Amino acid sequence: MIRIAPSILAADVLNLERDARRMIAAGADWLHVDVMDAHFVHNLAYSPETVRRLKEISPVPLDVHLMMDQPGRYLDVFLDAGADVLTIHTEIGGDIGGMLDKIRRRGAKAGLALKPGTGLSAVIPWLDQTDLILTMTVEPGFGGQKLNEAVLEKIAELRDRGYRGEIEADGGIREDNLARLTAKGLTVAVMGTALYRAEDPAAMMARLHEM
């Protein structure tokens, strides 16, 4: 069954707890938390304190995505705050293997993300050190973008290569395109606007879980 991870980036910033609880009550499997440093992407959000406070009220895992130039400096602080899944980007370079190993040694799942324009070859050397590959289906940094369907083939190729970890997609995912992603091998769908604006998020989540 597909896991649904509502992104708090789509929540009302003045009512994060209310909206997080609403998504959990609707059947969310994970909560997705984007952390942006205004360098790696042209936006700024959220802090370790946000993760810590969400951890206090969330019975579901926190899926923390570090869109940062230097995530290695912040791994411990986000793990201490309660990240259950911690994802870094392959585009940053540096000691990616060492960072992935550190995340796993701390007891969290290690994720590696790639932007839509980054070839799959960039993550291949690290597949054995990851629990999750995040294929961005929009340019990271802002919500509300349209899904780039070319990313479907990255998902299919990962499965063709025998990758058995979680494959996650983030960006522009809606009820009318999720089935095409799951058919390629997607196991975790990050959703924002479509869920938060739904009249009945629980009914939508139930339908999504059947895909």
Q: Given the residues 29, 34, 63, 84, select the one marked as catalytic.
A: 34
- Domain regions of the chain by residue span: 3-209
Count other C-beta atoms under 10 Å from residue 199's C-beta. 6
Residue 34: active-site member: yes
Residue 170: active-site member: yes
| CATH number for the domain whose boundaries are 3-209 | 3.20.20.70
Buried residues in 88-126 as b, exposed as e (16+ CB within 10 A): bbbbbeeebeebbebbeeeebbbbbbbbbebebebbeeb
pTM of the model: 0.96
Contacts of 181 (CB under 8 A, 6+ apart): 152, 155, 169, 173, 189
Count other C-beta atoms under 10 Å from residue 130's C-beta. 22
Per-residue pLDDT, 151: 86
How far, in Å, CA of 131 to CA of 53, rounded? 25
Per-residue pLDDT, 124: 96
38: left (phi over 0), alpha (psi -120 to 50) or beta: left
pLDDT tens string, the chain, 211 residues long: the values are: 899 999 999 999 999 999 999 999 999 999 999 999 988 988 899 999 999 999 999 999 999 999 999 999 999 999 999 999 999 999 998 999 999 999 999 999 999 999 999 999 999 999 999 999 999 988 875 555 678 788 899 999 999 999 999 999 998 899 999 999 999 999 999 999 889 999 999 999 999 999 8
